Amino acid sequence: MSARVSTVLSSLAAVEMVDRGIAVMPASRLQRPSPPTVGTGIAALDELTGGFPRGALTEICGPPSSGRTSVLLAILTKMTRRQEVCALVDTSDSFDPASASAAGVDLRRLLWVRCSAKQVLHTTTNADAQRRRASSSSPLRRCDSALGFAVDSRRSSLDRVEQALKATDLLLQGGGFGLVVVDFADILPVAARRVPLASWFRFRRAVENTPTVLLVLEQEPFAKTCASLVLNLSAAAHRQSPATAQADVSDNTHSAHASLLRGLEIHAELLRDRQQQKKPVRPAATRWDSQVAWAG
Amino acid sequence: MPFAAIYVPDFPVASIVRLESELREHAVAVIEGTPPAVRVIAANDKASEAGIEPGMTKLEAEERLAACNGRLAVRSPQREAAAHAALLDCACGFSPRVEDTSADTAVLDLAGLEHMFGPAASMARELAARCARTGMEANVAVAANPDAAVHAARGFAGVTVIPRGHEAERLASLPVDVLAALPDPQQCQEMLDTLERWGVRTLRALAALPEVAVTERLGQPGLLWQRLARGATMRALHVTEPPLIFEETFELEYPVELLEPLAFVLHRMLEQLCARLSARALATNELRIRLNLEASDDCGIAELRNYRIHERALRLPVPMLDAKIFLKLLQLDLQAHPPKAPVVKVWLAAEPAEPRRTQNGLLLPASPEPERLELTLARIAGVVGRGEPIPGADREPRVGSAEILDTYRPDAFRMNKFSPPAAREHEPSLPSASNAADHACPPATALRRFRPPLVARVTVCEGRLARLAAECANGEIGWAAGPWRVSGEWWTDHSWSREEWDVSVGGALYRIYRDANGWWVEGTYD
């Protein structure tokens, strides 16, 4: 009798027969199946992460020229080739369709949401360009010297962030997308930090139990525990030709006309991976090279 | 061979009540004419109970309706046309052979339909239900000949089925007024007056008269009426093919400024359009709305022309038939393009199309539903707004898919409406078991653009680019590659040329260029 009960109860993963009777295990000790993942098309990155998880939030953070957008194009290429519909919430309107097309992205399957700032000026004629140069002769806008990168006024960034959050909400509610990307890569951390944690939590809940990969590009990780996978990218150097002994950014001995940019050497560090049930022997960091379109 | 007749009593009233369902519980009378000769031409049952009769003056009718909280409406030919079209849509959705007998009557040939819809009584009830879905309460009668069916529908309320051979018996109790359908109204009235003088008030009495005497006194029209009274006529239907026009019109009692109350009107109109399309097994891929606006007194004539009409067209990616989604899309569109003055009249039309038929594969990836996607795109467009104006077109959309233009001009692309191609099982791009092909090529280095390009100041020292000052970077140039000279469209008025450089500043890689207007930072390699 007890053997039959034990067999039945052991099939319910929450309970276990012990000598004294029945022990109830907490849910955290249950063996949950691994969520499905999607490869990025970058062998080194896929070996590091096992792929980006579906139904979860993934963050890719790093400074400018660290390779974040290259990873984005790689996964967009992979998913659009699989005939999945993808969406990109471009907070800074910085997506380059030409780069994406050269990388192999099927632009027909990519929904591009271009957030706008209310104060952005658009240069449409030479007269406009000359006027902008004249107006910009006054002291330049505030630069974030620590990050070496500043794009818009603070208010403009907040407008864009607000639009991006609303657009992301609508896309996740609509459903049906294989990949939804929120591009905060050019948003100053001081503006991105103002995104309430509740928004990230809401996004995570919206994609749970769906086949959608939610990917966020940013300069620093902001989603905290809402992210299942967090990667930190950095660019060790850019690859150039003619190749030098050290492809160092300080090497300026060659004539500029004799140099050619060939790509980036990208380093990736795994900061968090909640999908790992146990900690296998897996490297915590990796590197790969990206290549520009004209490198052949 | 049975025939069915659909008759809408008090048709002018029914055409008004069709889009204003809250009036069904009230007394409603319809007036027509030029002042001071404005008369009542139709009234529903509740108005009749209040003493309203056709021919009554407007003042008399208003006085009686005020006592019972009724409504007096002006006759609307547009609404009657839409109601008549709805009646025909309902009939054509049931049978391919339909006769457009009159504005308030349609006759159908039910031959062969019993296999689909069951016996005659079931078919009649289904017809009545379909008419009710279009907003009109109709009488439906089934008989062995068209005329008997028409008279039974005009005389009996609800659903009536007359077995073959019992036409005279079932029609006997009807008044002779139901026969008043001669082309000449004056002749018809003379016939009725004559029968009234004779004391012949029912079809039974008319049918019992001797034929020879009827012919001598009333001529051939009288003989025809007698045969109609006996239900003994048989004729072929004059089959018509109603045009596939789906339009609805609504005139507002007072100008409406806000979009929210307008949404109630649009909702009803869309429900009617969808019901009519559904009756014909059709969907729509284009909605057109025209709002007549109230003219402002201080507008000049030229401005009046521009401001009287506000037209919009919604083109859907796939044929749809969902009134709620249509309403939301119209609301979002009107919020983005609001009318410049209060609205006094609404006209709505749907372009008919074959419904979408899709077969989803088991191995194909999921994609957004077209209906929800269209709604999502409209909402996002409302959030991010519209972009730069385009000559000869509306503003550039900021939501959609990019299409690269066939030119060497940098950053040349066009935003198209997002309409992803349907996934197919035999696409060569489907993933294979091995990912080796994906990993063989190194990933591409991406460029992130600044739109518009950032103003830059570049310091050149001894022929080398030494320092860059811009919003995004300010420091020594550690490495530079260039210049790469590009130009294009020199044969047009929009020729361009520039020198491009790839530079490294503070650990980040930028693409900068110099043209006739100076130095610019185009983007970052990332």
B458 part of contact set with chain A, CB < 8 Å: no
pLDDT digits (tens, 9 = 90+) for A116-139: 876 333 333 445 555 555 555 433
CB-based contacts of B238, cutoff 8 Å, min separation 6: B99, B100
| Non-local CB neighbours of A237 within 8 Å, separated by 6+ positions | A246, A247, A248, A249, A264, A265
Which pLDDT score, from 0 to 100, does residue B431 have? 46
Phi-psi region of B142 (alpha: psi -120 to 50; beta: other; left: phi over 0): beta
Token pair listed for B118: 């069951």
Distance CA A110, CA A100 (A): 10
Residue B136, CA distances (Å) to A170, B8, B98, B139, B271 in order: 39, 7, 18, 10, 13
For B477, the token pair is: 């140039």
What number of H helices and E strands is found in chain A?
8, 12
Assigned token pair, B380:
């996002």
- Chain A contact set for B400 (CB, 8 A): 111-112
Vertex B130, ends B125 and B136: CA angle to 5°? 105
Burial of A16 (0-12, 13-18, 19+ CB in 10 A): middle
Mutate to test the interface with B, among A47, A66, A88, A113 (most CBs of B within 10 A): A113
- Quick one: CA torsion of B253, B258, B261, B267, rounded to 10 degrees? 110
Q: Give the three-state DSSP class for B388.
A: coil
| C-alpha separations of B381 from A110, A157, A167, B390, B449 in Å | 16, 19, 9, 17, 22
Parallel/antiparallel/unpaired status of strands A229-241 and A52-53: unpaired
- Whether a cis peptide bond, with omega within 30° of 0, leads into A211 is no
DSSP assignment string, A45-95: HHHHHSSEETTEEEEEE--TTSSHHHHHHHHHHHHHHTT--EEEEETTS--
Of A70, A112, A249, the CB nearest to B443: A70
How close A214 gets to chain B, by Cα (Å)?
15
What number of other Cβ atoms are within 10 A of residue B497's Cβ? 12
Calpha distance B429→B423 (Å, rounded): 10
CA distance A180 to chain B (A): 12
* Chain A residues lying within 8 Å of B388, measured CB to CB: 122, 124
The whole-angstrom separation of Cα B293 and Cα B210 is 63
Instruction: Say whether pLDDT at A52 is over 90.
Output: yes
Strand partners, B284: B320, B352
Long-range contacts of residues B198-201, Cβ cutoff 8 Å, at least 24 apart? B200/B176, B201/B175, B201/B176
Q: pLDDT tens digits for A227-246? A: 999 999 987 667 776 644 33
Question: How many Cβ atoms sit within 10 Å of the Cβ of residue A73?
Answer: 27
Interface check for B426 against chain A (CB to CB < 8 A): the answer is no
Distance from CA of A238 to the nearest CA of B (A): 8
Burial letters for B227-244: b for 16+ Cβ neighbours within 10 Å, e otherwise?
A: bbbbbeeeeebeeeebee
B443:A71 CB<8 A: yes
* Cα–Cα distance measured from residue A191 to residue A155, given in angstroms and rounded to the nearest whole number: 9
Chain B residues inside the 8 Å CB shell of A234: none
CB contact set of A44 (below 8 Å; sequence gap of 6+): A268, A286, A287, A288
Q: How many CB pairs under 8 A join A and B?
A: 275
For chain A, how big is the Rg over CA atoms in Å?
A: 23
Q: Give the tokens for residue A276.
A: 């790992």
Q: How far is the CA of B196 from the CAs of B127, B159, B173, B185, B193, in angstroms?
A: 35, 29, 16, 16, 5
Q: How far is A143 from chain B (nearest CA, A)?
A: 6
Alpha helical stretches, state H, chain A = 2-11, 43-49, 68-81, 97-103, 126-135, 154-174, 189-192, 197-207
More confident residue, B35 or A250: B35
A232 touches chain B (CB under 8 A): no
Question: A78, A162 in Cβ contact below 8 A?
Answer: no
Return the pLDDT at B21: 83
What pLDDT, on a 0 to 100 scale, did the predictor assign at position B114? 84
Q: What is the pLDDT of residue B191?
A: 84
SS3 letters for A24-50? ECCHHHCCCCCCCEECCCCHHHHHHHC
- SS3 breakdown of chain B: % helix, strand, coil, rounded to 5? 35, 30, 35
**Residue of B414, B477, B479 to mutate when probing chain A, most A C-beta within 10 A:** B479
To test the contact with chain B by mutation, choose from A257, A261, A292, A294 the residue with the greatest count of B C-beta atoms within 10 A, namely A261
Q: In chain A, what residues touch B508 (CB-CB under 8 Å)?
A: 63-65, 148-149
- Min Cα distance A68 → chain B (Å) is 6
For residue B198, CA distances in Å to B162, B184, B194, B202, B228 come to 29, 22, 6, 11, 18
**Smallest Cβ distance to B439: which of A43, A81, A149?**
A43
Q: Mean of the pLDDT values across residues A64-89?
A: 95
Tell which A residues from 233 to 272 touch B, by Cβ distance under 8 Å: 235, 238, 240, 249-252, 256-257, 259-261, 263-264
- Closest residue to B423, CB basis, from A83, A163, A263: A83
Q: Does A224 touch chain B (CB under 8 A)?
A: no
- The reply to whether A201 touches chain B by the CB within 8 Å rule is no
Please choose, from the candidates B452, B457, B419, B303, the residue with its C-alpha nearest in 3D space to the C-alpha of residue A85.
B419
Cβ distance A259 to B442 less than 8 Å, yes or no, reads: no
* Contact status, residue B19 vs residue B272, Cβ threshold 8 Å: yes
Q: Tokens representing B356?
A: 């979408």
pLDDT tens digits for A191-201? 888 899 999 99
- Per-residue pLDDT 10s for chain B (526 aa) are 589 999 999 999 999 888 888 888 888 999 998 888 888 999 888 888 888 888 888 888 888 888 888 888 889 898 999 999 999 999 998 888 999 999 999 999 998 888 888 888 898 999 999 999 888 999 999 999 999 999 999 999 999 999 988 988 999 999 988 887 655 677 788 888 888 898 988 999 999 999 898 899 888 888 888 888 888 888 888 898 888 889 999 988 889 988 888 999 999 999 999 999 988 889 999 999 999 998 765 555 555 555 588 999 999 888 999 999 999 999 999 998 899 889 999 999 999 999 987 766 667 777 898 889 999 999 999 899 876 655 555 567 899 999 999 998 999 999 999 999 887 765 554 444 334 444 567 889 999 999 999 999 999 998 889 999 998 889 999 889 989 999 999 998 889 999 999 999 988 999 999 999 999 999 999 9
The shortest CB-CB distance from B444 to any of A140, A148, A293 is to A293
| Cβ proximity of B40 and B52 under 8 Å | yes
Closest CA relative to residue B526, chosen from A94, A118, A76, A91: A94
A293–B423 CB contact, under 8 Å: no
Give the pLDDT score at A141.
37
CA angle B86, B88, B90 (to 5 degrees): 70
What are the angstrom distances between the C-alpha of A33 and each of A36, A131, A201, A277?
9, 60, 22, 9
Is A28 a residue whose pLDDT tops 70? no
- Cβ pair B388:A122 closer than 8 A: yes
Dihedrals φ, ψ of B465, to 5°? -70, 120
b/e code B73-97 from CB counts within 10 Å (16+ = b): bebbeebbbbbbbbbbbbbbbbbeb
Q: Could you tell me which of B328, B323, B325, B426 has the C-alpha nearest to residue B370?
A: B325
- Measured CA to CA, the distance from residue B508 to residue B515 in angstroms comes to 23
* Inter-chain residue contact A176 with B474, CB threshold 8 Å: no
Bond from prior residue into B442 cis (ω within 30 degrees of 0)? no
Query: Which strands sit side by side in the sheet containing B71-74, from one edge to the other?
Result: B39-43, B28-32, B71-74
The span from the CA of B409 to the CA of B406, in Å, is 9
- Contact between chains at A166 and B383 (C-beta distance less than 8 A): yes
pLDDT given for residue B319 in this prediction: 92
CA neighbor of A229 nearest in space, from A67, A50, A43 = A50
Q: Which of residues 170-189 of A touch B (CB under 8 A)?
A: 170-171, 173-178, 185-186
* Torsions phi, psi for A68 (to 5 deg): -65, -45
DSSP B268: H
Q: Torsion angle, CA of B164/B95/B76/B182, rounded to 10 degrees?
A: -40
- Give backbone dihedrals phi and psi of B82, rounded to 5 degrees, phi first: -65, -40
Residue in chain B closest to A133 (alpha carbons) equals B455
Give the separation between CA B186 and CA A160, rounded to whole angstroms: 74
pLDDT at residue A149, rounded to an integer = 39
